[in-house]
């Protein structure tokens, strides 16, 4: 019986963790809906501007809601929500943003307007300013089975009349996957060294020791913008029409923004230890052909997470009945 209880608790805990993780990027999840969940605007120094969001309970149960202003960062692979002590960027907007109300309760079907106020300091400087409006549910006290869900609303502010610098620095270029029949994977780290956010588009060529281009890539645009001072790992698939023998190769990487503005260029070297045979297609994959996880269908992800919750609850009920029989 003890083993059954442990398995039951482990399954439920895993389900809750998965649902909370998936909720970070969804404007609608588990009955929590947020309209206006993105603020992207140009603001003047010394000005005060307000923005409206609407938080709704579309479930069949009451919700306690808490809203906080957090920092906008990057964890080398995705947007990171930063607590105040972690948000040390000179480009943060957290210090001059406020929300009202920041805590309230919603009955099923009810909604609440929320005002976000941006009080821009004088002499704020150039570039962009960034933050996250973090909207979450508060599980009832003493609840043994409750899911906390959250929506992260991004704030992307541009300082009016400022000098916008889009620049970057590429490092840590290395060969990832090199399995015959698969595309070559080159990874690199890109740091935003400018003062403004941008979405990344990375391309490149691979040359042999004679300087001949033997493999090429396709642009791989990013889903989320990279904000200043942070770094992100980029992965670029390469394809070739002919096999590549063992030896030393040079890879050239060009990174631009999604509007074509040059950001950074860098060259790296890698070694193939054995012959690599190209895939049957011979060309790099398009964005639509990338494996799951590169381009995420959030609607499908939400549906899957919801299904997992229902399944976990069903298993929980069945096991509980068995335990007490």
Structural domain of residue 207, as residue ranges? 168-289
Which of 115, 138, 163 is the last residue before a domain boundary? Answer: 163
| Domain co-membership, 48 together with 157 | yes
CATH of the domain at 40: 2.60.40.10
Please, are residues 257 and 199 in contact by the beta-carbon 8 Å criterion? Answer: yes
| Domain co-membership, 55 together with 146 | yes
| Domain co-membership, 39 together with 158 | yes
| Domain co-membership, 38 together with 152 | yes
Sign of the Cα pseudo-torsion (156, 161, 162, 165, in order): positive
Indicate the pairing of strand 150-159 with strand 38-43: parallel
Please, are residues 114 and 136 in contact by the beta-carbon 8 Å criterion? Answer: no
| Domain co-membership, 194 together with 272 | yes
User: How do the pLDDT tens digits run along the chain, 325 residues long?
Assistant: 444 434 333 333 333 333 333 333 335 557 899 999 999 999 999 999 999 999 999 999 899 999 999 999 988 777 889 999 999 999 999 999 999 999 999 999 999 999 999 999 999 999 999 999 999 999 877 665 666 789 999 999 999 999 999 999 999 999 988 889 888 999 999 999 999 999 999 999 999 999 999 999 976 767 789 999 999 999 999 999 899 999 999 999 999 998 899 999 999 999 999 999 997 654 544 444 433 333 334 344 444 445 544 444 444 333 333 333 3
pTM: 0.76
| Domain co-membership, 142 together with 196 | no
Query: What local confidence, expressed as pLDDT, does residue 308 receive?
Result: 46
C-beta neighbour count of 185 within 10 angstroms: 15
| Domain co-membership, 195 together with 313 | no
CATH of the domain at 220: 2.60.40.2550
Q: Please choose, from the candidates 152, 153, 143, the residue with its C-alpha nearest in 3D space to the C-alpha of residue 16.
A: 143
| Domain co-membership, 83 together with 190 | no
Which of 163, 184, 214 is the last residue before a domain boundary? Answer: 163
Query: What local confidence, expressed as pLDDT, does residue 3 receive?
Result: 40
| Domain co-membership, 156 together with 232 | no
| Domain co-membership, 284 together with 320 | no
Enumerate residues 6+ apart whose C-beta is below 8 A from 167. 192, 193, 194, 263, 264
Q: Following CA atoms 60, 64, 69, 72 in sequence, which dihedral angle do they give, to the nearest 10 degrees?
A: -40
| Domain co-membership, 47 together with 156 | yes
| Domain co-membership, 128 together with 146 | yes
Q: What total of structural domains would you count in the chain?
A: 3
């Amino acid at each position: 019986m003890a083993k059954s209880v442990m398995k039951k608790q482990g399954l439920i805990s895993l389900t809750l963790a998965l649902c909370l993780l998936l909720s970070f990027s969804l404007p609608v999840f588990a009955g929590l809906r947020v309209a206006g969940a993105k603020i992207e605007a140009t603001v003047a120094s010394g000005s005060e501007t307000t923005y409206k969001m609407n938080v709704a309970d579309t479930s069949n149960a009451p919700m306690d809601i808490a809203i906080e202003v957090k920092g906008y960062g990057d964890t080398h692979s995705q947007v990171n929500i930063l607590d105040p002590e972690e948000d040390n960027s000179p480009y943060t907007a957290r210090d001059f943003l406020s929300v009202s109300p920041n805590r309230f309760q919603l009955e099923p079907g009810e909604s609440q307007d929320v005002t976000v106020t941006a009080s821009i300091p004088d002499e704020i400087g150039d570039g962009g300013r960034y933050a996250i409006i973090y909207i979450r549910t508060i599980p009832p006290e003493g609840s043994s089975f409750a899911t906390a869900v959250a929506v992260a609303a991004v704030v992307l502010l541009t300082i009016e009349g400022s000098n916008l610098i889009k620049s970057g620095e590429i490092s840590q270029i290395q060969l990832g996957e090199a399995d015959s029949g698969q595309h070559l994977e080159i990874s690199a780290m890109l740091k935003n060294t400018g003062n403004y956010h941008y979405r990344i588009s990375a391309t490149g060529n691979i040359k042999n020791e004679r300087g001949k281009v033997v493999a090429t890539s396709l642009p791989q645009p990013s889903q989320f913008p990279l904000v200043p001072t942070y770094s992100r790992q980029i992965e670029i698939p390469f394809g070739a029409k002919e096999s590549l023998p063992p030896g030393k190769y040079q890879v050239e990487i060009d990174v631009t923004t999604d509007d074509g503005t040059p950001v950074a260029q860098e060259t790296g070297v890698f070694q193939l230890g054995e012959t690599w045979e190209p895939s049957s297609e011979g060309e790099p994959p398009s964005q639509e052909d990338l494996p799951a996880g590169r381009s995420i269908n959030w609607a499908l992800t939400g549906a899957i997470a919801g299904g997992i919750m229902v399944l976990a609850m069903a298993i929980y009920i069945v096991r509980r009945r068995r335990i007490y029989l």
